[in-house]
Amino acid sequence: MRFFSWTVFCVLLITLTSSVVFAVIPMPARIGGTVTVDGSQLTQATDTGYTFKVTKQNGTAYNPSAEDNDGLNSSNLYNIDIPIYDATDQPGGAQTGETAKIHVYKNGNELQVTSPSNGLITVGDAGSNTTINITAVSLPPGTLKFSSATYNGNENSGKAVITVTRSGGSNGAVSVSYATSDGTATAGSDYVATSGILNWSDGDTSAKTFNVSLIDDSASEGNETVNLILSNPQGGAILGDPKNATLTITDDDIISLNVDITPSNGGTVTGNGINCPGDCSQTYDKGTPGILTATPNSGFVFDHWSGCDSSSGNQCTVAMNAGKSITAYFKAFSGLSLPTGQDIYSYLPVESPVIDTNNPMFCKPVAVGNVTGGTLALQVKVPPFPDLVDIYLLIYAPQLDQENIYLIKSNLSVQPLSMGLVPWKANTYGGTEETLFQIGMNVLPKSIYYLYLLTAPAGGMESFYLWTTYFVNPMFCLPE
């Protein structure tokens, strides 16, 4: 085959000092040959709309570009000049020996080059002429299918968006029909039946969507399904899989509860069908109330909840008006063991509580601030326990009421012990530190005040720790 001969163009640059510099641009590497599309060789009479181009392997264009926009020559051959790299005069050219890619377009739509394989060629030397015959096939119209075999929509969201894709080709305009039918859901009461046609223009591969309107009712029906169907592809397109899909309507009247335990070996959570770890998720009718109970494992104590509507100690209340995620937090136990007898410890007054998590004998959980400063500050610091306990605070002022010992209740009011035992803190794991009163000594009646802190397993009094101390109003004189 004979190609055109080459002329070297020289650019003469004349400076103001009349010095002359010559810049030589490398001769291109020319390729050319026949073009066969869909089994038929192109000629000048049939090449209308075709262009031919060479780029880097990744599709980046050379500079200057390497393309043939003029169609085939009189010998029914294409010719493309590939610019050759020169660091100074042609940095956008191709390196000799690098891999490039041939592209064939028809009316702007790219065809698939099958020969050379994947359109890949090796760039020749500057000034070379290489015969490369091209074989290409038109891309097919494409395959139409659902983007997924399953879709989900919340009953209260108003609609579900369904996506249909076109892949494997974009040649020509195509269309497909879509429709819905009842699965376990019923048209008119759970969703609105819909049907229609989706259209793609020539070269369009973007996804198309249609909506299925959802009806929010108040019935607790559980999740229900709608069948989705594609049919009647046009324009040469074919149906792919999935051509049938399922839309699941999530019933917003069914509420999910999920429970987590941190750390996972810290304890258990039970109640309302939950038995976690193991069964940590349940569903309920909307508005179903429930109570969860956290129980620590050996070596742990319950710490706190998150996600509850309300909580008290190790109990969590959930109203289930919406989906809930509840976490029960435990922590490694470091504190006193539960009392096994009736242990009583007395100590002299201290200004700040002292706890010893190894020996109750050295605990001083009740303290009164420096009363000589004129203010009473009753401070309580109870060590943690490995299980639930009740804590009682009592006060006795014999100069004021010799007959009664008084209980300090959770609201800081007092009542005589003779009216019954009332815990200051009930069903707690201890670990409490609080300042209960700030009282001026000038308003505190004259007396010696005995303070008692009693801790017993929750609901029982067979065994306990009892710590006792006292303080004196400085204005009161002790009898000699």
CATH code of residue 235: 2.60.40.2030
pLDDT of residue 22: 55
Contact (CB, 8 A) for 94 and 86? no
On the question of pLDDT at 2 being above 70, the answer is no
Please tell me the predicted confidence (pLDDT) of residue 242. 96
| pLDDT greater than 80 at residue 374 | no
Residue at a domain's end among 250, 279, 302: 250
Q: pLDDT tens across 346-357, in order?
A: 999 998 999 888
4 in any annotated domain: no
| pLDDT of 184 above 90 | yes
Regarding whether 190 and 95 lie in a shared domain, the answer is no
The predicted pLDDT at position 478 comes to 45
Same domain, 164 and 50: no
Between these two residues, 109 and 295, which has the higher pLDDT value?
295
Residue 114 reports pLDDT greater than 60: yes
Q: Which domain holds residue 84?
A: 10-137
- Residue 464, CB-side half-sphere exposure with 13 Å CA sphere: 17
**Strand duo 112-115 + 134-137: pairing:** antiparallel
Q: How confident is the model at residue 3 (pLDDT cuts 50, 70, 90)?
A: very low
**Most confident residue range from 5-19, 199-213, 329-343:** 199-213
- Count other Cβ atoms within 10 Å, centred on residue 3: 15
Which pLDDT score is estimated for 320? 79
Task: Determine the Cα–Cα distance for residues 269 and 259; give it in Å rounded to an integer.
Answer: 8
CATH number at residue 430: 2.60.40
Return the CATH number at 316. Answer: 3.10.20
Residues 370, 404, single domain; the answer is yes
The structure tokens 């038929």 sit at 40
Q: Cα separation of 65 and 68, whole Å?
A: 10
Q: How far apart are CA 218 and CA 127, in angstroms?
A: 80
Q: Is the pTM of this model over 0.75?
A: no
As a whole number, the mean pLDDT across the chain is 88
Q: Report yes or no on 358 lying in a domain.
A: yes
pLDDT of residue 55 exceeding 50: yes
Does position 123 have pLDDT exceeding 50, yes or no?
Answer: yes
187 and 91, same structural domain? no
Q: What is the pLDDT of residue 287?
A: 75
pLDDT score at 23: 61
pLDDT band (50, 70, 90) for residue 92: very high
